[in-house]
Amino acid sequence: MHIHILGIGGTFMGGLAQIARHMGYVVTGQDRQLYPPMSVQLEQAGISVRAMDDVSFINEKADVIVVGNVMTRGMPAVEALLESGLLFTSGPAWLADIALAGKWVLAVSGTHGKTTTSSMLAWVLEDAHLSPGFLIGGVPANFGVSARWSAESPFFVVEADEYDSAFFDKRAKLVHYHPRTWVLNNLEFDHADIYENLAQIQRQVHHGVRLVPASGLIVAPHDDEGVADALVLGCWSDIEYSLPNADRGWSWRLLTDDASAFAVLFDGVEQGRVQWQLMGEFNIRNALHAIAAARHAGVPVAVACDALSRFAGVARRLTLLSASDADVLIYEDFAHHPTAIAVTLQGLRARYLNRRLLAVVEPRSNSMRMGAFKDDLPASLSIADWVLMYRDMRWDWQISETEFTNEIIVCTSYDALVSDVLAQIKAGDVVVCMSNGGFAGVPARLAQDTAKKQT
């Protein structure tokens, strides 16, 4: 069987390509220029990638064409596909129909923490010798790849996001997966290029909830209004809730101020403890949701806690790029929504109470570029001592530096940003670079340049 993928270079479609290859398919694809880590993973899987506008695939008569949501009407490959009469489908539909058929699907959704929680859950199942398949929107350090197929295991962990499926299927990806175990981390407004308001996202989640069997489980925070409003639309499965300082459901007790150690509680009774390299209470909530989901699949809580003590994190999720004993610490993080930016900074502040904190930000998500969060951005960055921001003048929104309560420098070129950051850095500083894109290699450049200055 031959599968050809249009838009193969994203984390989801690239992961799907690897799964298809592991399942024995001949896999080809096309996209714009690829970058690590997906370029490396596809090369290692032996998958060739052509230019985005190449239409030669039409004559090869692949058994199915899988179309990524980066593809739009007007693109040569899309127009050629529609003229050809060849069979095509969306990535989520192919994954659900072919790879997930007969599997116990454990899905993780929400505005924040999907990748980290999915990675935690996959690692807990792996450590419990359940050998799950998975497709995650990042690279868990415990695995080194973003996707894996496991024919023997009944379990499959999927990061189930709310973005649309394809130009011809505007349903959220999460609607396709029919999970038996579903983590709903949180729900806030995002993806302003797809949705007009939070209610539209909640409606998509409700469509997914309708497909969870009565014997299934939904894991959710009890203190998230967005999730609560989605579930009140209807729920036919058991729900296990998490809530800080609660005597019912899942909760936790901090053992260190920076959340690097904590006790896991269920119905007020301690079930186990975790000591790990991560920080921030937001990661504890992610961990509790992973523990609850794994327990539904048969993993004892104590076993899950032990596994999480050896969880190595996810690439670009508060990843330390400089040496841990360096005078200046450089972190890289995927945070791009105001809430995610704020909790990332809170976690760093809790760990490094007496060190200066510099936030280097590229607010480049579609929602940010459209101005959906321009009123929330200054407050989300208020914990930082300095803010250094890249700003593309083509973006739709303008924001005055006077709206920030901390010191801020706005740059319109990446080179100027790097120069300004290096000029501001002092011994003892903690620098976190936050973007949902490649950030033109700024984090790596800062790590290299500060290392040179310290030697």
Domain 2-90 sits in which CATH superfamily? NAD(P)-binding Rossmann-like Domain (3.40.50.720)
Longest dimension (CA), the chain: 64
Q: Which residues are CB-contacts of 90 (< 8 A; sequence separation ≥ 6)?
A: 66, 67, 69, 165, 166, 168, 169, 176
In this structure, of 32-36, 108-112, 329-333, the range with the lowest mean pLDDT score is 32-36
Copy the structure tokens of residue 58: 């039409």
The mean predicted confidence, pLDDT, of the chain is 94
Copy the structure tokens of residue 331: 């972190």
CATH classification of 100-308, choosing from 3.40.640.10, 2.40.50.180, 3.40.1190.10, 3.40.50.300?
3.40.1190.10
- Residue 42's nearest CA partner among 53, 30, 54 is 30
CA distances from 36 to 407, 414, 428, 429 (A): 33, 19, 30, 28
User: What's the CATH number for 319-454?
Assistant: 3.90.190.20
Q: Point out which residues pair with 408 in neighbouring strands.
A: 387
Between CA 28 and CA 9 the distance in angstroms is: 11
Answer yes or no: is pLDDT of 25 > 70. Answer: yes
**Which contiguous run of DSSP H or E holds residue 76?**
helix 76-84
Q: How confident is the model at residue 384 (pLDDT cuts 50, 70, 90)?
A: very high
Answer yes or no: is pLDDT of 236 > 80. Answer: yes
Q: pTM for the complete prediction?
A: 0.94
Please state the length of the chain. 455
Specify the pLDDT at position 385: 96
Between CA 68 and CA 95 the distance in angstroms is: 12
- What are the residue boundaries of the structural domains of the chain, listed by start? 2-90, 100-308, 319-454
Sign of CA dihedral 305, 307, 309, 315: negative
Give Cα 287 distance to the centre of its chain. Answer: 15
Specify the pLDDT at position 453: 67
165-206 pLDDT, tens per residue? Answer: 999 999 999 999 999 999 999 999 999 999 999 999 999 999
